[in-house]
Amino acid sequence: MKKILLAGANGMLGISMQQALVDHDLIALGSDELDISCTRDITAAIIRYRPNYFINCAAYTAVDLAETEVEKAYKINATAVRQLAQICEHHRVTLIHFSTDYVFDGNATLPYRPHDAVRPINVYGASKLLGEQYIQDNMSSFYIFRISWLYAAHGKNFMRWVLENNLEEMHVVDNQLGSPTSADSVALFINHLVENDPDEHGVYHYTNQGELTWYAFAKAISQKSNVPKNIHPTSSFKTAASRPSYSVMNTDAIRRTFNYDIPTIDTALEEVLERYKSRS
């Protein structure tokens, strides 16, 4: 049994982590209990709990709002992460941190590999990338997992929006290709990691297997849930932040390094929909 300190425990990914890590000595703290931007709070928590792992699920994730809240995005996604990395390194705590497919510009034609060139095209992606760089500059024992298009049966996310909105017609973009990924799937993999840590630290990609546009994902949600929706594809959906048109990521290193088979998009979606129905 490993001792794990989880920050951002009340967010979508944090809730999934709490469910997946029940067999460990887990200290789960929400942002109201542990502010990752406060060096004193982080130091005190690590000294008090002495964890083997610090899992950071705390982040600024408002992609469009970040275009105007630039300072706030960088404070949480970069500056706070630098401080967290330095403290974890000093106390010999392994950091597990999550980044995003938005560190890429979307100009690729093949799935991005972890060490491909990065070029974010929005503030959110740039702030997350700087956080990655701070970890790599300040730590020896860390895992960074880039994830994408996260959703779950809980929290605010695209799947729930498709199922719960009352629009007569839904217009969903069909010109962005990526890999929708279940937060529960990510959390189950992290449980596997802490139970079988190969000590192969670095940057990895974790997404459910396959690729879809947002429109195709919306259709799949409607069809698999048996909730009819009038969904139309569109190529024009104005947002404050630019998004990469292609952000599929190569996850081969997960299977190779951690001996772990990642579920497909279809399998993960079906499991999340079952959980969603059981909550209704």
Residues 6+ apart with CB under 8 A from 76: 36, 37, 58, 59, 60, 127
Q: Is 95 helix (H, G, I), strand (E, B) or coil?
A: strand
Distance, in Å, from the CA atom of 70 to the CA atom of 130, rounded to the nearest integer, reads 13
Helix axes 39-49, 80-90, angle to 10 degrees: 30
The single-letter code of the amino acid at 114 is P
How many CB atoms within 10 Å of residue 56?
Answer: 25
Closest CA to 13 of 130, 141, 153: 153
Taking the C-alpha atoms of residue 5 and residue 237, their distance in angstroms, rounded to an integer, is 39
Q: Which residues pair with 98 in a beta bridge?
A: 145
Q: Which residue of the set 102, 124, 204, 246 is catalytic?
A: 124
CA 191 to each of CA 67, 82, 109, 184, 273: distance values in angstroms, whole numbers, following the listed order? 34, 25, 32, 11, 21
What values do phi and psi take at 266, rounded to 5?
Answer: -60, -50
Distances (CA, A) of 39 to 3, 45, 81, 115, 248: 21, 10, 10, 30, 35
- Determine the Cα–Cα distance for residues 159 and 273; give it in Å rounded to an integer: 9
124 classed as catalytic: yes
DSSP string, 52-74: SEEEE------TTGGGT-HHHHH
Helix (H) or strand (E) holding 42: helix 39-49
The catalytic site residues sit at 124
